[in-house]
Amino acid sequence: MRKKLYLLCGINSERKLIVDLLAILFGIGSWLGINSVYVQLPLLVGNAPEGWNLPSYLVVIIQLGNIGPILYTAALRIKSFRDSYLIIGLLVLGSCAAMTTGFVYDQTVHVFGAERSVPLFISVFALSLVGCTSSVLFMPYMGRFKDIYLISYLIGEGFSGFMPSIVALIQGVGGNGECRLVNGTDPNEPPVYTSYTPPPRFGTRPYFIVSSVILAISMVAFVLLDRLTVCRREYAAVSIGNGNNYAYEPSTPNDEETRSAADTTSQKVKASLDRTNYLLMMVLISVMCLFGNGFFPSIQSYSCLPYGNIAYHLTVTLSSMANPAACFLAFFVQKNSIRSIVALSVVFVPFAAYALTTAITSPDPPLMHSVLGDILVVACWTLLVGFVSYIRLAITTLLRCEGGQTLVWVGVATQLGSLVGSILSFTLVNFTDTFQQYYPC
């Protein structure tokens, strides 16, 4: 019965669902902390002294978390150690940092003549260490399992954005800002208005406490994934060296199914991934991350907030949901080709152009103060993130059979593109007049 159900759903009947579940929970811990911060931006930008520029600061701080992958790579050259211990330590750090964020997000420090959200920046940096290092540690760790479980991990990585979004939808954003008269009705005084935004159902502190608990659950799931015998039996034919440096071993004659699958995959990779195509995929995933992870998150407030807090809130939450939706779609799409990946990248361009246009034309973007404008900006950003997520996943699964070190280079390309995008956006947002803030009053 179970095999028939799996065949009906297009799922491999030989996979262990407990490994799938633990891989998903493990993947959730990768970027959940950072995604929690992004999803809270509609509430954070209203209170932070940086205002609409806060996302550009956070994107740069998140990219500073790339010191984690650098230190990890350097450590591998000095000493041999088990990756599992480092992964556990990072997930514990993420859980503690998320808890801390809930208590310091509204604290400021006077720096260089202005108030800055320094405590928030420090806690976000700790969360970024987990996310950035996961690209070169968590995902390559999953490479030692059979390839069917890499998709499960990536679905979990997608859920690291979906779960904070669900909590944020329940939380709400209160409503759009409105102008309120504050100086009475004295005809001899000019009217003075202030912007007022209704409060959400619950505050930012409970939100981050929930995120901290989820990260703790992810840590427990990884311990089980690493230690349970049933999980170890799902390793691929692989020899594990220092860190995540491992190589797939030839299948034995008795393992007909594994040999057949490996031969088929090897033929596909050798037929399509020559050096030119290999470099093309690396460059393409860097470009996708440059825009999707580095540049566009910094300007999202300028693109969406002129349409109102509700539009911004929906954009952030639905965009985060688009990530796991794209990963879930890939769960059923068994074949990815270079041609289809390039085609999807071309389709990505008009959505990126519209998002950029709305940000540049702020504070008076197209179709402002209309329902159609709200729908278009929310739909555009949701599809934009969905395309980036699916293309990144498609490239990752296509390159997976190149071995563990290839997944490390995929992580490097991902973070390099994100870093360049964050520096570019920070410069444009904070040192030029390219993007203008909208003031309702």
- pLDDT attached to residue 244: 56
Alpha carbon 419 to its chain centroid, in Å, reads 14
Residue 185 belongs to some domain of the structure: no
d(CA 122, CA 133): 17
| pLDDT for residue 254 is more than 60 | no
Residue 329 belongs to some domain of the structure: yes
127-180 pLDDT, tens digit per residue, is: 999 988 887 788 788 878 887 888 788 788 878 878 888 888 888 766 666 666
Domain residues for the domain of 220 are 9-173+203-248
- pLDDT attached to residue 211: 94
Q: Which CATH number does the domain housing residue 162 bear?
A: 1.20.1250.20
Residue 180 belongs to some domain of the structure: no
Q: Do 307 and 218 share a structural domain?
A: no
Q: Do 329 and 226 share a structural domain?
A: no
d(CA 87, CA 144): 15
- pLDDT attached to residue 271: 46
Mean pLDDT in residue range 251-277: 50
Q: Do 277 and 233 share a structural domain?
A: no
- pLDDT attached to residue 264: 44
Q: Do 166 and 30 share a structural domain?
A: yes
320-363 pLDDT, tens digit per residue, is: 888 777 767 766 766 677 888 889 999 999 999 999 999 999 88
Q: Do 163 and 47 share a structural domain?
A: yes
More confident residue, 191 or 24: 24
Residue 184 belongs to some domain of the structure: no
- pLDDT attached to residue 354: 95
Q: Do 279 and 216 share a structural domain?
A: no
Q: Do 291 and 160 share a structural domain?
A: no
Q: Do 289 and 232 share a structural domain?
A: no
Q: Which of 213, 248, 283 is the last residue of a domain?
A: 248
| pLDDT for residue 427 is more than 80 | yes
Q: Which of 214, 248, 282 is the last residue of a domain?
A: 248
How many domains would you assign to the chain?
Answer: 2
366-423 pLDDT, tens digit per residue, is: 988 889 999 999 999 999 988 888 888 888 878 766 655 677 788 788 878 888 998 9
Letter for the amino acid at 240?
I
Query: Degrees (nearest 5) of the Cα angle 72, 78, 83?
Result: 45
Q: Do 281 and 235 share a structural domain?
A: no
Q: Do 292 and 243 share a structural domain?
A: no
Residue 404, token pair as written in the block? 């563990």
Alpha-helix residue ranges (DSSP H) falling in 228-362 = 229-232, 256-272, 275-289, 296-304, 309-332, 338-360
Residue 377 belongs to some domain of the structure: yes
| pLDDT for residue 4 is more than 60 | no
User: What is the number of alpha carbons within 13 Å of residue 148 lying toward its C-beta?
Assistant: 17
Residue 304, token pair as written in the block? 């969406």
Residue 307 belongs to some domain of the structure: yes
Q: Do 37 and 98 share a structural domain?
A: yes
Q: Do 409 and 323 share a structural domain?
A: yes
| pLDDT for residue 10 is more than 80 | no
44-81 pLDDT, tens digit per residue, is: 887 888 888 898 899 889 888 888 888 887 887 777 67
Residue 178 belongs to some domain of the structure: no
Residue 257 belongs to some domain of the structure: no
Report percent pLDDT > 90 for the chain. 25
Instruction: Specify the DSSP element, H or E, that contains 109.
Output: strand 109-111
Report the 10 Å Cβ neighbour count for 199: 11
List the one residue out of 353, 348, 362, 352 whose CA is nearest residue 312. 362
Mean of pLDDT over the chain: 80
For 145, the 3-state DSSP assignment is: strand
